[in-house]
Structure 1
Amino acid sequence: MRQAATGSRRPSLRVERALQRDGHRVLAGMDEVGRGALAGPVSVGVVVIDETCRSAPQGVRDSKLLQPHVRESMVPRIERWALAHAVGEASAAEIDAVGIMAALRLAGMRALEACGVRPDLVILDGNHDWLTAPEDVGLLAFAHEDGVVTPPVTTMVKADMRCSSVAAASVLAKVRRDRFMVGLGDDGGEHAAYGWAVNKGYAAPEHLDALRVHGPSAWHRRSWRLPGSMGDDGDVTHAMPVGER
């Protein structure tokens, strides 16, 4: 694994074009959403491009920087622009079973399988390659039962703010996961109290208060120490700040 050089703060295809000139003709930008949530899946978006994909749709940015209605409007434009695209997910139960990092890989491999195109290189946001399994870990064989091999990976800090393909992948993942969490929260039933339509499963005050009153639901990550769970001491671990996606 190598770490790509950083460039402009505005998403563009500058990094992707340089990598294509190095021989990686088919590139996949990949980003995750929901890593730090207390409930719901972790979602991984992937956008595959080649030399025929021109400039990304105007306004594509890291999903955190866009209003919800803007993200929604961008989805069909991104889908028309990309050579291939998909969102893969790992459920709360799978996160409990294998841990968050392994679940990220599971979701990422599912996204790549759904694309139907094997990229020459994957660009991951951040400085850690969570897509490539450690050599001594065998529990993730089910992540690619059809024999899909993990492509080469390069990491880039703030790639979602610099690479159009990664920014576009973050938008797809964010929209898909938000729709799912809003649907759960708007069902008018047992999940409405957690406020997921607003907080999307993150550690917002109303979510924490509901956990203390009602305890965790089937959609919560029960391996994490949650308010209202047995033996809870009031702390919430494994959680990003409320403002994170």
Structure 2
Amino acid sequence: MLLSTFSGELLEAGVDEAGRGCLAGPVVAAAVILPPDYKHHLLNDSKQLNRKQREQIREDVLRDAVAWAIGEATPAEIDEINILQATFLAMHRAIAGLAQTAGYLLIDGNRFKPYGQVPHTCIVKGDGKYLSIAAASVLAKTHRDDVMQRLAEEYAVFGWERNAGYPTPEHRQAIALHGATPYHRHSFTLLPSPQLLSDAPAEL
């Protein structure tokens, strides 16, 4: 069972991101403050949930949270400052967007750039340990999936509605055939090896 709080602060915000390993699209972060002793029978790390479960949990979290916010860093920002710093930037934007000021930050992962004077703790695999981080994980994932769904309407050949910009064989094959878009992260290795491409499906 996931824990409801780490610090004991009433306004403890869980913070998580989605899309760090993608080749295209923004990196997205969410910050969520849940009510004290909040419980949810399905809430867990978003990677352990199917799409239908994530969508249901998103509705519940948006309804029940004391405060929540989403932050993004664009592909251009990722290319300019690197993915780690861009992830911190997206997290800071999410925290800044909260309708109530967090008294403590619970960060998924092992690294974070301090946000002002707000104390924080990093928790490795925290989205499977604390409800607020799990809630942030779900909001970040579902928001980013929506973004990639919209971008897929503009660039249909990359299959972003299926791969969300991750480096699947389908995605890399499309880059090889059609080139990169403004939504790709040009500082990333988009086509790492000819062997990978030769193993990719011939049809998109």
Name the counterpart of 1:12. Answer: 3
- Match of 2:33, SS? strand
Name the counterpart of 1:85. Answer: 68
What is the CA deviation profile of residues 64-103 of structure 1, one whole-angstrom value per residue up to 9, with x for unaligned ones?
0111111111112112221100111101111011111111
Amino acid at match of 1:75: R
**Distance in 2 between residues matched to 1:225 and 1:87, nearest whole Å:** 27
- What TM-score, normalized to structure 2? 0.89
- Match of 1:86, SS? strand
Alignment of 1:96-245 (within 5 A): 96-129=79-112, 131-132=113-114, 149=116, 151-185=118-152, 187=153, 189=154, 191-227=155-191, 234=194
What is the CA deviation profile of residues 21-43 of structure 1, one whole-angstrom value per residue up to 9, with x for unaligned ones?
xxx33201011100000000001
**Distance in 2 between residues matched to 1:176 and 1:58, nearest whole Å:** 22
Give % identity.
Answer: 37
Distance 1:76 1:169, change over 3 A: same
> Residue 64 of structure 1 is aligned with which of 47, 61, 67?
47
Distance 1:118 1:94, change over 3 A: same
- What TM-score, normalized to structure 1? 0.75
Amino acid at match of 1:153: H
**Distance in 2 between residues matched to 1:174 and 1:108, nearest whole Å:** 14
**Distance in 2 between residues matched to 1:79 and 1:116, nearest whole Å:** 13
Distance 1:178 1:235, change over 3 A: farther
Give the aligned length. Answer: 196
What is the CA deviation profile of residues 6-51 of structure 1, one whole-angstrom value per residue up to 9, with x for unaligned ones?
xxxx3231xx1x521xxx33201011100000000001111113xx
Structure 1: segments with no counterpart, 5+ residues: 1-9, 134-148, 237-245
User: Is the Cα contact below 8 Å between 2:10 and 2:36 reproduced in 1?
Assistant: no
What CA RMSD, in Å, does the superposition of the two structures yield over aligned residues?
Answer: 1.9
Deviation above 3 Å: which 4+ runs of structure 1?
A: 232-236
**Distance in 1 between residues matched to 2:118 and 2:178, nearest whole Å:** 43
Q: Which moved more, 1:209-218 or 1:53-62?
A: 53-62
Q: CA deviation at 1:157?
A: 1.6
